[in-house]
Amino acid sequence: MTSRPTTKNSANKDASISVYRETQFETSAAKLSQLPTDEGLEVAFAGRSNAGKSSAINKICCQKSLARTSKTPGRTQLINFFFMDEQRRLVDLPGYGYAKVSADIKRRWQQTMEQYLATRESLQGLILLMDVRHPLKDVDQQLLSWSWNVGMPTHILLTKADKLKRGPAQNTLLKVRKEISGNDPEGLTSVQLFSSLKGTGLDEVYAVLNGWFQLNQK
Ligand SMILES: Nc1nc2c(ncn2[C@@H]2O[C@H](COP(=O)(O)OP(=O)(O)O)[C@@H](O)[C@H]2O)c(=O)[nH]1
Ligand SMILES: [Mg+2]
């Protein structure tokens, strides 16, 4: 018997997803003076180099090479902006962590990123990516502390979930949830498993993004 196509993708949901499909590269910024005008709604992807930021953006936008992905960690040195529509942008932040560059350059990136985070009015929320096998490293904790201090909604993707079996992946999810819940009295932070490779957890990500982007939702 042939099965009917799933009705899970309601017309409404498809309408919001098409805005991701149509996302295009807009510009790269090496310094604050190069940022696009600070208006509309923006969501930034942050995380250590190699956490899977570019892969996640590609997957969410149903495109193969919108954001570059790399086997060499630490290559993305610029803040990359992706245009969804006149009001909405996705932002790929430079990966923090083990980039092979001088301490001086590192400091400069960090300053640019910190200033972006501290000043950007259009920033609605952060997607923080952490490899499910190495969650909550110091730099991740620092970013989370900052989020809690300034009241920035943050959604954590435990990436490369395909690298773990279901049980261990679920354990990590619960552990991370438990660890942040004590520090997050306002409930600004959420966590999920994600795999760009398998598409695991995509619906959950869209639900969060659609909320921040004020896209039609049921
Ligand atoms: N197995 C697996 N590998 C992934 C996944 N996401 C990313 N990768 C790999 O991890 C590496 C770094 O990914 P990338 O998106 O460039 O990370 P970024 O530095 O955070 O932008 C690449 O070799 C990707 O192919 C995933 O969900 N599963
Ligand atoms: Mg990248």
Residue 1 domain-assigned (yes or no): no
Q: What is the average pLDDT value for the chain, to the nearest integer?
A: 88
Nearest CA to ligand 1 atom 12: 50
Ligand 1 midpoint to CA 69 (Å): 7
Q: Residue 48: how many CA atoms within 13 Å on its side-chain side?
A: 19
Identify residue 152 by its one-letter amino acid code.
M
User: Which protein residue has the closest C-alpha to ligand 1 atom 1?
Assistant: 160
Q: Is 204 exposed, middle or buried (0-12, 13-18, 19+ CB in 10 A)?
A: middle
State the residue range of the domain holding 53. Answer: 11-212
Decide if 93 is inside a domain.
yes
Q: At what angle do helices 202-212 and 53-60 cross, to 10 degrees?
A: 80
HSE on the CB side for 19, CA within 13 Å? 19
Of 45, 54, 61, 69, the residue with max ligand 1 atoms within 8 A of its CB, to mutate for a pocket test, comes to 69
pLDDT over 80 (residue 2): no
Using left for φ > 0, alpha for ψ between -120 and 50, and beta otherwise, residue 50 falls in left
**Pick from 64-78, 159-173, 188-202: least confident:** 64-78
In a domain, 4, yes or no: no
Residue 6 lies in a domain: no
Over the stretch 98-152, which tens digit does the pLDDT of each residue have? 556 677 877 877 788 889 999 999 999 999 999 999 999 998 999 999 999 999 9
In a domain, 130, yes or no: yes
CATH, residue 167: 3.40.50.300
CA of 153 from ligand 2 middle (Å) equals 22
In the chain, the number of structural domains is 1
| CA pair distance 190, 170, nearest whole angstrom | 15
Q: Cβ-count burial of 90 within 10 angstroms (0-12 exposed, 13-18 middle, 19+ buried)? A: buried
Which pTM value belongs to this model?
0.90
Q: Could you read off the pLDDT of 15-65 as tens digits, one per residue?
A: 678 999 999 999 999 888 999 999 999 999 999 989 999 999 999 999 999
Nearest protein CA to atom 4 of ligand 1, as residue: 160
In ligand 1, the atom with minimum distance to the C-alpha of 55 is 15
Q: Is the CB of 58 under 6 A from ligand 1?
A: no
- Ligand 1 pocket check for 70: Cβ under 6 Å: yes
Average the pLDDT over each of 36-45, 55-64, 179-188, 202-211 and give the range with the smallest value: 179-188
How buried is residue 149: exposed, middle or buried, by Cβ count under 10 Å (0-12/13-18/19+)?
Answer: exposed
Q: Strands, DSSP E only, in 63-169?
A: 79-85, 88-92, 123-131, 154-159
Q: What's the gap in Å between 37 CA and the centre of ligand 2?
A: 23
Choice between 6 and 148, residue whose per-residue pLDDT is larger: 148
**8-state DSSP, 148:** H
- Compute the distance from residue 65 Cα to the ligand 1 centre, in Å: 12
**Closest Cα to atom 19 of ligand 1:** 50
Would 109 be classed as within a structural domain? Answer: yes
Q: Is the pLDDT of residue 72 over 90?
A: no
Residue 195 lies in a domain: yes
Report if residue 33 sits inside a domain.
Answer: yes
